Amino acid sequence: MSGTCYRCFKAREACLCPYIRELDTGVKFVILIHPHEARLMRTGTGRIAHLSLGESELIQGVDFTENERLAQLLSDESYYPVLLYPGESARTTSDPAFRESLGSRRLLVIILDGTWAEAKKMLKFSKNLQALPRLSFNRGYRTHFVFKREPSPDAISTIESCYYLIKELGEIGVADTTGVENLMSVFERMVKFQLDCEYERRRLDAPERVALSQLKINRFSALNKT
């Protein structure tokens, strides 16, 4: 093993840094990363999203109620802060009320980076996050992250969330989508690398399970052809 890249937190041979293009979307993103997810250097996409989004910050924690940096951002009146999280009160990007509330302020999108259970816990503990208006997607999306097991097929990774949200915000003139496809191509490169590694590992150590890896690779290629 030749170590880890301390910028993208991937193994050196899987370093994504040369493929990351910093985007200037005009939207500020704050990625709140669960400590567990932060340690998952192999599969986490929050960090890659952060490196790709020029105007973004990554804050680690579970309970953000007393988080100074977040409090600072939330009290900045030049921003309209929203929590990207589903719920009955959540507005979608196509909701005229969302556009109205935003007004001339800059959109600040807060994203919880973790599994569904971790994100739920973060929200449960963080009183300041509970008070935020919620934003959710206009359309349903399926993840291309065939590597990770999520309890719900609707659960999409943080970097995919950013990608789809920027596209939707672009449709209503709130975000600049220039170069946004790069988010998805970096993500796909990451998933493909993980799948290839798993295949290779199984080929050597668990040949009876190679078929399963091949199945995932096929599923991934099929997803990315459409």
For Zn ion, the closer of residues 13 and 154 by Cβ is: 13
For Zn ion, the closer of residues 46 and 170 by Cβ is: 46
For Zn ion, the closer of residues 16 and 135 by Cβ is: 16
Residues 10-69 close enough to bind Zn ion by CB under 5 A: 15, 17
Residues near Zn ion (CB under 5 A), total:
5
Q: Which residue is nearest to Zn ion (CB)?
A: 5
Min separation Cβ 181 and Zn ion, Å: 20
Min separation Cβ 9 and Zn ion, Å: 7
Total Cβ atoms within 10 A of residue 174: 20
Does position 131 interact with Zn ion (CB under 5 A)? The reply is: no
For Zn ion, the closer of residues 154 and 196 by Cβ is: 196
Stretch that binds Zn ion, among 1-9, 40-48, 90-98, 126-134 (CB under 5 A): 1-9
Min separation Cβ 163 and Zn ion, Å: 19
For Zn ion, the closer of residues 54 and 86 by Cβ is: 54
Does position 8 interact with Zn ion (CB under 5 A)? The reply is: yes
Residues that bind Zn ion (CB under 5 A): 5, 7-8, 15, 17
